[in-house]
């Protein structure tokens, strides 16, 4: 047991827990209103949104998984860097329109917008269910990041006692989310990002010095992992995989319910635009973070005897914790591990709020209780947020780790299939809602089939065209089919007036 690290970890964890409960009184609003509980009253400014979106996108699992991918697979893991750069121009251009129309009509979710734009609750239901299902394993993987660092400090025991620290973290998360809503992760994100910046900067300065400089660091990395494998024999190989992973991930990132929730909580369109300009600072951080995967390779942390049992349990996900334990004194290990764990709390809280917003507004209200009061609506969302977190906890405790990872991999494929309905509809209502629904179903089925063809071990599938094999992100290939079906069926269905609902929006709504 690493008592020094554990004590510092607990103190920092306790500090952010207190912040989470105090947040209920920050910019106080009526938390019996869903927009106050689930969107912080739509009053968050530039600085808070910058931290909140950073907490959304750069999570505990990112801190663990990106270096782990670089450690295990090499340079292909750096695809996360260009995709976070590409996504921000898209945010600048597209999402202020979503904020404006959502503010005008009190939309809480993307599915609310679909209902208002197309007047089709089944299409809205499809978008809502996709968001909820894609989010659940994502929450589980945040809890996984917490579990890894707790285990790294020596808190390990068989059965219930081994799961007890994670259960305690879950109860804390559930309590302050229920009490404070989105205000809690918004305040905690400031502490979380500060700790992560301190940790990453310390790693990229101290560890290369211990190794003997960056030249020796890169010299110690196997050549096969240092660069992408060049195309050969009619196969684009890692080149097309890298490009399509980056592009497809950029398209999908801000369709996830938790990032859409953060966007809709902004106080204005200019807040979103300013953050689109400022958020690439996190991409710089992500690049440094990915480098730690090479550092773990250079140090050969998986060969160090004291870490062999943990690598047997967690695989390459233990690379960063092992690197921190090997390179820093115990007091800094406590700070770094607290940064990772708090980096799991913030997005897990936002994700559970986003999922509960979707269930409440797009399942509970239209299909279960159309005559609800605002207080009943808010109370239902609070309860559902607890259920969502409990489901994520069950994922981690009772299901093998690879199931959560495989479902998260599918989540990216699935959420991409909402692009025609959500993004295109911000500019045009020409696509028929029933055509969009059928296109969505085709994309979901084909994307899932592609991932299944790889044994759910990879989202990259080979595509052959005139003798050329193009390995690519399954989400993009499925999205192409989705668009094709939606366009063709819209040409067929649009002349039939009964297939189109009433559009509640007008052009001016998108430019408030």
Q: What is the pLDDT along the chain (512 residues), one digit of tens a residue?
A: 788 988 999 999 889 889 988 888 877 788 889 999 999 889 999 999 998 887 777 777 778 888 888 898 888 888 888 888 888 888 899 999 999 999 999 999 999 999 999 999 999 999 999 999 988 888 877 877 888 888 888 877 666 666 777 788 888 888 888 888 999 888 888 888 888 889 999 999 999 999 999 999 999 998 888 888 888 888 888 889 889 988 888 888 888 998 899 999 999 999 999 998 988 888 888 888 889 999 999 999 989 888 888 888 888 888 999 999 999 999 999 999 998 888 888 888 899 999 999 999 999 999 999 988 989 999 999 999 989 888 888 877 776 665 656 677 788 899 999 999 999 999 999 999 999 999 999 999 999 999 999 888 888 898 888 788 889 999 999 999 999 999 999 999 999 988 898 999 999 999 86
Beta strands in 314-469 (DSSP E): 460-461, 464-465, 468-469
Distance CA 12, CA 1 (A): 18
Q: At what angle do helices 319-327 and 280-299 cross, to 10 degrees?
A: 70
Can you give the pLDDT at residue 27? 77
**What is the DSSP code (8-state) at residue 473?**
E
- Residues 11, 14, 18, CA angle at the centre, nearest 5°? 140
Distance of CA 34 to the CA centre of its chain: 22
**Do the strands 472-473 and 464-465 form a parallel or antiparallel pair, or are they unpaired?**
unpaired
Q: Is 128 helix (H, G, I), strand (E, B) or coil?
A: helix
Q: How far is CA 417 from CA 196, 251, 295, 411, 440, in A?
A: 32, 10, 36, 10, 6
Q: What is the pLDDT of residue 346?
A: 83
Domains of the chain (ranges, CATH numbers): 3-511 (1.20.1730.10)
DSSP 489-506: HHHHHTTSGGG-------
Q: What are phi and psi of 468, to 5 degrees?
A: -105, 125
Distance CA 142, CA 110 (A): 23
Tokens 């668009």: give the residue.
Answer: 483
Say if residues 412 and 133 touch (Cβ distance below 8 Å): no
pLDDT value, residue 157: 62
Q: What is residue 153's predicted lDDT score, i.e. its pLDDT?
A: 86
Dihedral sign for Cα 112, 391, 352, 422, please. Answer: negative
């Amino acid at each position: 047991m690493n008592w020094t690290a554990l004590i510092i970890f607990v103190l920092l964890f306790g500090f952010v827990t207190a912040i989470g409960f105090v947040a209920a009184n920050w910019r106080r609003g009526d938390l019996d209103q869903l927009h106050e509980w689930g969107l912080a009253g739509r009053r968050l400014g530039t600085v808070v949104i910058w931290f909140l979106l950073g907490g959304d996108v750069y999570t505990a699992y990112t801190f663990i998984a990106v270096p782990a991918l670089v450690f295990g697979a090499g340079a292909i893991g750096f695809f996360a860097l260009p995709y976070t750069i590409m996504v921000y121009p898209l945010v600048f251009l597209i999402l202020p329109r979503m904020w404006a129309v959502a503010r005008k009509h009190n939309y809480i979710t993307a599915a609310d917008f679909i209902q208002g734009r197309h007047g089709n609750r089944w299409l809205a239901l499809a978008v809502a269910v996709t968001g909820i299902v894609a989010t659940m394993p994502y929450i589980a993987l945040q809890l996984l990041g917490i579990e890894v660092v707790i285990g790294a400090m020596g808190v390990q025991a068989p059965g219930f006692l081994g799961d007890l620290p994670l259960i305690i973290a879950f109860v804390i998360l559930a309590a302050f989310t229920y009490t404070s809503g989105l205000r809690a992760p918004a305040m905690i994100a400031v502490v979380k990002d500060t700790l992560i910046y301190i940790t990453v900067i310390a790693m990229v300065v101290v560890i290369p010095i211990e190794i003997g400089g960056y030249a020796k660091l890169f010299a110690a990395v196997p050549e096969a992992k240092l660069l992408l494998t060049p195309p050969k024999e009619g196969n684009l190989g890692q080149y097309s995989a890298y490009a399509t992973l980056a592009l497809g991930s950029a398209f999908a990132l801000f369709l996830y319910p938790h990032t859409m929730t953060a966007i809709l909580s902004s106080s204005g369109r200019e807040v979103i635009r300013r953050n689109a300009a400022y958020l690439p600072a996190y991409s710089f951080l992500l690049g440094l973070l990915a480098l730690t995967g090479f550092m773990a390779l250079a140090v050969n942390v998986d060969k160090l005897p004291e870490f062999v049992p943990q690598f047997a349990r967690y695989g390459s996900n233990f690379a960063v914790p092992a690197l921190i334990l090997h390179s820093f004194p115990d007091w800094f290990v406590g700070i770094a591990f607290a940064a990772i764990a708090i980096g799991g709390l913030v997005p897990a809280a936002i994700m559970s709020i986003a999922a509960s917003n979707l269930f409440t507004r797009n399942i509970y209200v239209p299909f279960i209780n159309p005559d609800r009061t605002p207080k009943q609506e808010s109370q239902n969302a609070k309860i559902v947020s607890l259920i969502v977190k409990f489901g994520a906890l069950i994922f981690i405790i009772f299901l093998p780790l690879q199931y959560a990872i495989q479902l998260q991999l599918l989540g990216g494929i699935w959420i991409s299939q909402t692009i025609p309905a959500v993004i295109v509809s911000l500019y045009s209502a020409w696509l028929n809602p029933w055509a969009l629904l059928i296109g969505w179903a085709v994309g979901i089925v084909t994307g899932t089939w592609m991932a299944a063809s790889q044994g759910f071990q990879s989202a990259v599938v080979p595509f052959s065209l005139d003798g050329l094999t193009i390995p690519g992100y399954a989400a993009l290939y499925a999205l192409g089919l989705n668009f094709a079906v939606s366009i063709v069926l819209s040409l067929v269905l649009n002349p039939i007036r009964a297939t189109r609902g009433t559009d509640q929006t007008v052009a001016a709504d998108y430019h408030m």
